Amino acid sequence: MNLFVPKETKFKENRVAITPDVAKELVNKGFKLVMEKNAGQSSYFSDDMYVNAGATILENGSNGYESADVVLKVNIPEIDEIKLMKKGAILISFVFAATVPQVIEAASKQGISIFSMDAIPRISRAQKMDALSSQSNLAGYKTVILAADALGKIFPMLMTAAGTIKPAKVLIMGAGVAGLQAIATAKRLGAIVEVSDIRPETKEQVQSLGAYFIEVKGDESIQTAGGYVTGVSDDFLMKQQALLEKHVADADIVITTALIPGKKAPMLIPASMVEKMKMGSVIVDMAVEQGGNCALSELNKTVVKNGVTIIGESNLPSLLPMNASQLYAKNISTFLYHLADSQGFKWEMEEEITKGSLIVHNGSIVHASALPKI
């Protein structure tokens, strides 16, 4: 089976789907692996490293799409790239199917199949395939480092002959994978950390990391699935904002991580709340690509509003491309081994991981998130 890994073309993307170590493993298992020239360059993996692992380097990426049985990517290809794939070929990548209906339609017309890394069920036996968690973990770490760099003071308390410096206060909104890593990183740097999450089950995890949990009482409007919040009312968000307003005003750094799959990110920090923050404080909006948790954040820009620095970096894992690629390559290769061997795919259509992650099958759209809304 012929695997092809193209060079990522998305703006600010430095990751690669397969690293040299995983390439060697794939080749040893009987797969033929073709890498587009310089596919791993931005992740600090040279073409020579792939050649030494047994892969073939291809100068023209278009030829790779045309001949591949399976395309392995980080981000979903553009429509023009989908049109290069042969009928019956298979794509495995992050898809976020609800957000790319035109690409899904093109895949359907092309007669290919698509498996989505972001749709893999969050069950124990799929943990090694969970790319959302592996990438969010790194993003949580990098967020704190970016915030620390933008903040004009240190994190820990420092007692000197010239006086005592108070520790920085960090407020983190959301205690998912990214939020928990952000808590741990900020604590290691010596900050006082407060955390808000509307899921009461996260309280124990937050406290185990030494952070203070801000209790937000939920209501019947909150919907969750697979550990994620999938819906919440505007009325609840207003109540949450009122409770958090003082904490935001007191914070040196605010990190927001709230996302709702397939929907615009919830608004947690309106402009009026930013106006009450201290001059020199920092906001990092991790949800900026989906509309943002802060009203004043701007996509892929760092702006200063009312003396507050607001960081809107859309692709945080890509800022740590070596580690992010290493983890993603393990995720996607483990997923591939589950679905297939070197001779072909098993197509176990009722198996939970296969069924949950298959978006398009031989041109037929099969996943609920990708079906046209009536």
| Cβ(110)–Cβ(346) below 8 Å | no
Q: Which is the catalytic residue, given 228, 241, 250, 369?
A: 228
| Cβ(357)–Cβ(115) below 8 Å | yes
**Which residue is associated with the tokens 């004009």?**
152
Q: Which is the catalytic residue, given 21, 67, 122, 241?
A: 122
State how far the alpha carbon of 50 is from the alpha carbons of 7, 33, 42, in Å.
13, 9, 14
**For this structure, is 241 an active site residue?**
no
| Cβ(230)–Cβ(261) below 8 Å | yes
Percent helix, strand, coil in the chain, to 5, is: 40, 20, 40
Q: Which residues contact 215 (CB under 8 A, 6 or more apart)?
A: 200, 203
Cα of first residue to Cα of last residue in the chain, in angstroms, is 38
**For this structure, is 122 an active site residue?**
yes
Q: Which residues contact 295 (CB under 8 A, 6 or more apart)?
A: 267, 269, 270, 271, 274
**For this structure, is 133 an active site residue?**
yes
**For this structure, is 47 an active site residue?**
no
Q: Which is the catalytic residue, given 41, 42, 133, 241?
A: 133
Q: Which is the catalytic residue, given 46, 62, 102, 127?
A: 127
CB burial of residue 19 (10 Å; 0-12, 13-18, 19+): buried
Q: Which is the catalytic residue, given 65, 69, 93, 130?
A: 130
**For this structure, is 233 an active site residue?**
no
The conformation of residue 201, written as its DSSP 8-state character, comes to G
Of residues 152, 170, 167, the one with CA closest to residue 251: 170
Of residues 92, 8, 16, the one with CA closest to residue 53: 16
- Cα distance between residue 43 and residue 319, in whole Å: 10
Q: Ramachandran region of residue 238, left (φ > 0), alpha (ψ -120 to 50) or beta?
A: alpha
Query: Active-site residues: which are they?
Result: 122, 127, 130, 133, 228
